[in-house]
Amino acid sequence: MTELDRPAFYALSSGGWRDLITLLHPPYTAWHLSYVALGAAAAPTLHANRLGAALAAFFLAVGVSAHALDELRGRPLKTRLSRTTLISLAVAGLAGAVAIGVIGIVVVSPLLAPLVLAGAAIVPLYNMELFGGRFHNDTWFAIAWGGFPAFTGYFSNALAIRPAGILVAAACCMLSAAQRRLSTPVRELRRRTADVHGEQRLTDGRVVELDRTRLAEPLEGALSALWLALVLLAAGLVAVRV
């Protein structure tokens, strides 16, 4: 098996605990959690306990529940986790996230209720492709996994809607859209492409052979740089604020 035969650049060999790590999509989960931190860092006051709770809720909802539901639909990561295990992870992850949200409503503010309800709805709507997949597209991906985490991070700290929160959420929407534009062709190359044949003729007369690896490398190189850059940026901005 070649490197590109793995279903994702971060996928481990199938079996046991390795499947659980792969299921979390570690780089992408960290990427989306960074949006929560970026939103919180833009708030007038950053409350470390609220940020910690928001990060935990999104880890459970996105990292665990959403990704478990993804794996239930066609096994894109080729894990050996049973259907029962995946369903249990999906339910437990979403329930845990909602529980954290309910605590926030009681302890912090009832104003958080719409965000908790929206988060609880987004995961099944998007990942289970309900209503004929109407919410499973690039636009909703950008909103659900980019703008929404950032806005939640901001609002849970500010408890108000201000330009800073809206601008950061909009920026995270665009970053999430960029992620989608890069990751979609890579997934196709890794998971649904048997072979690629072609050549690129340069103006100096050189000919470059095209194959799956050459097409995937710049896309995955950008994805690898972006997820790490955003995590470092979010960590740096939070460190400035606390």
157 — pLDDT class (breaks 50, 70, 90): very high
pLDDT in tens, 39-89: 999 999 999 999 999 999 999 999 999 999 999 998 999 999 999 999 999
219-232: average pLDDT: 96
H or E, element range at 201? strand 198-201
Q: How far is CA 96 from CA 65, 91, 145, in A?
A: 10, 8, 18
Distance separating alpha carbons of residues 190 and 24, to the nearest angstrom: 18
Amino acid identity of residue 172, one-letter, is C
pLDDT band at 2 (very low <50, low <70, confident <90, very high): low
Tens digits of residue pLDDT in 7-46: 999 999 888 899 999 999 999 999 999 999 999 999 999 9
Chain-wide mean pLDDT for the chain? Answer: 94
Helix, strand or coil, per DSSP, at residue 118 = helix
Stretch 119-135: mean pLDDT:
91
Contacts of 230 (CB under 8 A, 6+ apart): 31, 34, 35, 38, 175
Closest CA to 213 of 1, 3, 6: 3
Please name every residue paired with 208 in a beta bridge, in sequence order, or none if there are none.
Answer: 200
**Mean pLDDT, rounded, for 163-191:** 95
Contacts of 48 (CB under 8 A, 6+ apart): 242
Residues 6 or more apart in contact with residue 221 via CB below 8 angstroms: none
Provide mean pLDDT across the span 199-217.
92
Task: Return d(Cα 225, Cα 117) in angstroms, integer.
Answer: 33
Residue 60 tokens, joined:
């459970």
What's the chain's Rg over C-alpha atoms?
19
pTM: 0.93
d(CA 93, CA 155): 22
Beta-bridge partners for 198: 210
Buried b (16+ CB within 10 A) or exposed e, 102-130: eebbeebeeebeebbeebbebbbbbbbee
Asked if residues 189 and 4 have their Cβ atoms less than 8 Å apart, the reply is: yes
Q: What is the largest CA-CA distance in the chain?
A: 69
